């Protein structure tokens, strides 16, 4: 196969994958029709540190729990479907919704005017007060809105709490990570207070004896289900279902079970309110699981073994993504290197331009452009394909330079002698130049595979739950960053060490002509 044929085949392959994945595009009858037909409601949420909304059960992380999990189940049942959660970063949920990665976003999405430009919102299903948490016994802790001026206060980005704090003149610290990190920073003295929605404060501040929550609310936020623009039938169906759940008391029961029943929500649903239930089963279970670090024995014998399935699946995805991306990087890299070394001037400039462009911009930017940018041009890639393409093309630039260095390490005379012997350029490349060049390129390639293995963690952006994402989810829900960190490190080594060994073997084999023993 000539280089041109190979390139054409590659482009054709990309074009095939570039076709929208079946089922992701809105069906002719709108998303409601699609949900009814496939009997499945795909709902987007961030499981990263999302108690009591959506989170992995700390006692058994194979289960996704939370009041919104139960709400999604109840809504789906009303629509005659089963609920299937799709993981995405919280601040990207509306983008992912617009892309069509799921039917609805249901994860503490605040009712706010500016959101109506990008999505439709259902009637609110919950009202939460904004609660201020501080270190217990901290005499200088800010306990009023006036007192937060100039103080460091943590919260979630893009939230009502952030806007309240900014108006009050606080130094706002926002987090991309989970809510546990926000309260950890408060506990460790990196911030002076945390302002967040009542359920979060209840599940993260109230379980820690070192923290206390100031009485009273600093504002109220309402949550609604987000639906794609133009999907009015689905929004109406969800409104109807929510009204029915409220009327039958199912919502109240659900919130009481989770210990988050409050006056605001009671008013919202038109129900009487006495007081927050003294204790709730779900909250007690959560506190028991995360309030006190489990013993090493319990971690090793009970908790970590339960993460095996999740980590194994994630490791499989990580490995598959790494190997397939590296294959793409090698193929495209070889083409770029050949174009750069042997091409006519315009081809050479194109290759150099492509290499510099890819190499000079962050992988994260490229992934965002591929996943969220290309749909603007009508190219909507499946998450795996987007991740594969992003990683593969990014590393292709590195590989191209790698192979160029290899090609240039072979003396020009070698190619010339091959020519005088009658070999064509391609034959000389294949039998004389490439075998020598590859030997030079293998050590940096091994390095790149390992780097790619680690960089594959960036694809959590495109909703793929690989090893690192699995770790951060688990660490947040089990509140065990150190121990699980060692566990995930072991998984990475398990994948990386054989790859490194393979590289060394290849190096040895390709360099056997340099060893005395071979003579």
- The 10 Å CB-count burial string (b at 16+, else e) for 363-376 is beebbbebbbebbe
Tokens for 126? 């919950």
DSSP notation for 83-120: EEEEE--GGGHHHHHHHTSSSEE-SSPBP-GGGGGTSE
Choices 84-92, 317-325, 419-427, 474-482 (CB under 8 A): range interacting with another protein? 419-427
Least separation in angstroms between residue 9's CB and another protein is: 25
User: Binding of another protein at residue 416 (CB under 8 A)?
Assistant: yes
**Dihedral over alpha carbons 132, 136, 138, 143 (to 10 degrees):** 20
Tokens of 121: 């919102």
465: left (phi over 0), alpha (psi -120 to 50) or beta: beta
Instruction: Find the part of the chain contacting another protein (CB under 8 A) among 309-317, 365-373, 412-420, 456-464.
Output: 412-420
Distance CA(280)–CA(256), nearest Å, equals 7
Site string for another protein, 452-491 (x = CB under 8 A): ----------------------------------------
Instruction: Work out whether 140 is an interface residue with another protein (CB under 8 A).
Output: no
Size of the site for another protein (CB under 8 A): 23
Among all chains, which residue has been given the structure tokens 């000389």?
A: 428
Nearer CB in complex with another protein: 293/411: 411
422-451 positions binding another protein, by CB under 8 A: 422-423, 427, 431-432, 435-436, 439
Query: Under the criterion CB under 8 A, does residue 2 sit at the interface with another protein?
Result: no
Question: Alpha helix locations (H) across 343-362?
Answer: 345-359
Match 């780097």 to its residue by tokens. 451
CA 481 to CA 62: how far, in whole Å?
A: 18
Q: Which residue, 98, 30, 27, 87, is CA-closest to 237? A: 30
Q: Which is nearer to another protein, 439 or 479 (CB)?
A: 439
CB closer to another protein, 429 vs 462: 429
Q: How far is the CB of 324 from another protein (least distance, A)?
A: 29
Contact region for another protein (CB under 8 A) — 149-157, 379-387, 393-401, 417-425? 417-425
The interface region with another protein, picked from 348-356, 394-402, 406-414, 466-474 by CB under 8 A, is 406-414
Nearer Cβ to another protein, position 377 or 514? 514
Structure tokens at 296: 């090493």
364 counts as binding another protein under rule CB under 8 A: no
Q: Which residues pair with 121 in a beta bridge?
A: 226
Phi, psi of 95 (to 5 degrees): -65, -45
Q: How far is the CB of 425 from another protein (least distance, A)?
A: 9
Binding another protein by CB under 8 A: which of 414, 485, 497, 502? Answer: 414
Shortest CB 31 distance to another protein, Å: 60
CB of 1 to another protein, least distance (A): 17
Other C-beta atoms lying within 10 Å of the C-beta of residue 489 = 12
Instruction: Return the residue matching tokens 């999405």.
Output: 109
Q: Based on CB atoms, which residue is closest to another protein, 278 or 518?
A: 518
Task: State the nearest-atom distance from the C-beta of 440 to another protein, in Å.
Answer: 11
Contact 105, 45 (CB under 8 A): yes
Considering the complex, what minimum distance in angstroms separates the CB of residue 502 from another protein?
Answer: 20
Q: Nearer Cβ to another protein, position 137 or 413? A: 413
Per-residue tokens: 474: 């688990």
419, 454, 500, 507: residue in contact with another protein (rule CB under 8 A): 419
Question: Whose Cβ is closer to another protein: residue 190's or residue 509's?
Answer: 509
- What is the three-class DSSP state of 225? coil
Shortest distance (Å) from residue 469 CB to another protein: 43
Residue 507 pairs in a beta bridge with: none
42 phi and psi angles, rounded to 5 deg: -90, 120
Residue 383 host element (H or E): helix 383-409
Q: Identify which of residues 377 and 518 has a Cβ nearer to another protein in the complex.
A: 518
Shortest distance, CB of residue 428 to another protein, whole angstroms? 9
Q: How many CA atoms lie within 13 A of 407 on its CB side?
A: 19
Q: In whole angstroms, what is the distance from residue 476 CA to residue 454 CA?
A: 20
Residue 324 or 419: which CB sits closer to another protein? Answer: 419
Q: Please identify, using beta-carbon distances, which residue of 4 and 515 lies nearer to another protein.
A: 515
Q: Distance between CA 14 and CA 26 in Å, rounded? A: 23
Q: Are strands 220-223 and 126-135 parallel, antiparallel or unpaired?
A: antiparallel
Q: Which residues in 498-517 contact another protein (CB under 8 A)?
A: 510, 513-514, 516
Whole-angstrom distance, CA of residue 387 vs CA of residue 318: 11
Q: Is 408 in the site for another protein (CB under 8 A)?
A: no
Q: Is there binding between residue 343 and another protein (CB under 8 A)? A: no
Minimum gap (Å) between residue 376 Cβ and another protein: 47
Residue closer to another protein by CB (options 96, 437) is 437
- As measured in angstroms, the least distance from the Cβ of 54 to another protein is 57
Applying CB under 8 A, which residues contact another protein? 411, 413-414, 416-423, 427, 431-432, 435-436, 439, 510, 513-514, 516, 518-519
């Amino acid at each position: 196969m000539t280089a041109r044929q190979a390139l054409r085949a590659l482009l054709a392959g990309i074009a095939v994958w570039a076709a929208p994945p079946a089922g992701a595009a809105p069906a002719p009858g709108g998303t409601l029709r699609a949900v009814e037909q496939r009997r499945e409601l795909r709902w987007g949420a961030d499981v990263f540190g999302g108690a009591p909304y959506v989170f992995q059960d700390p006692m058994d992380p194979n289960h996704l729990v939370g009041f919104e999990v139960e709400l999604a189940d109840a809504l789906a049942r009303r629509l005659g479907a089963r609920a299937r959660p799709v993981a995405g970063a919280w601040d990207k949920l509306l983008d992912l919704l617009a892309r069509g990665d799921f039917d609805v976003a249901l994860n503490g999405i605040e009712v706010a005017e500016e959101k109506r430009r990008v999505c439709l919102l259902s009637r609110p299903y919950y009202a939460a007060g904004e609660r201020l948490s501080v270190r217990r016994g901290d005499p200088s802790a800010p306990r009023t809105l006036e007192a937060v001026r100039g103080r460091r206060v943590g919260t979630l980005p893009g939230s009502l709490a952030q806007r309240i704090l900014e108006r009050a003149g606080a130094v706002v610290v926002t987090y991309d990570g989970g809510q546990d990190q926000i309260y950890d920073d408060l506990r460790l003295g990196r911030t002076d207070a945390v302002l967040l929605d009542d359920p979060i404060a209840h599940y993260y501040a109230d379980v820690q004896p070192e923290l206390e929550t100031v009485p009273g609310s600093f504002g109220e936020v309402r949550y609604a289900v987000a639906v794609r623009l133009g999907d009015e039938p689905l929004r109406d169906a969800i409104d109807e279902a929510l009204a029915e759940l409220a009327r039958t008391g199912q919502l109240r029961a659900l919130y009481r079970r989770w210990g988050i029943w409050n006056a605001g929500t009671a008013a919202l649903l038109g129900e009487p309110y006495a007081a927050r239930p003294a204790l709730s089963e779900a909250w007690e279970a959560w506190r028991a699981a995360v309030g006190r670090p489990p013993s090493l024995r319990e971690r090793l014998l009970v908790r970590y073994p339960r993460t095996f399935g999740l980590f194994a699946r994630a490791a499989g995805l990580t490995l598959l993504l790494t190997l397939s991306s590296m294959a793409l990087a090698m193929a495209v890299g070889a083409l770029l290197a050949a174009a750069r070394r042997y091409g006519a001037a315009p081809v050479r400039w194109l290759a150099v331009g492509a290499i510099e462009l890819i190499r000079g911009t962050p992988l994260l930017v490229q992934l965002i452009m591929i996943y969220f940018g290309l749909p603007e041009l009508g190219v909507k890639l499946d998450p795996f394909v987007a991740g594969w393409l992003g990683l593969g093309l990014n590393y292709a630039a590195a590989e191209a330079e790698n192979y160029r260095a290899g090609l240039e390490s072979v003396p020009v005379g070698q190619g010339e002698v091959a020519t005088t012997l009658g070999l064509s350029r391609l034959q000389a490349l294949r039998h004389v130049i490439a075998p020598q060049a590859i030997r030079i390129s293998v050590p940096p390639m091994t390095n790149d595979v390992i780097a790619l293995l680690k960089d594959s963690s960036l694809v959590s952006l495109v909703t793929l739950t690989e090893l690192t994402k699995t770790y951060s989810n688990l660490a947040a829900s089990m509140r065990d960053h150190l121990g699980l960190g060692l566990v995930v490190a072991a998984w990475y080594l398990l994948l990386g060490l054989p790859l490194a060994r393979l590289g060394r073997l290849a190096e040895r084999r390709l360099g056997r002509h340099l060893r005395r023993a071979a003579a």
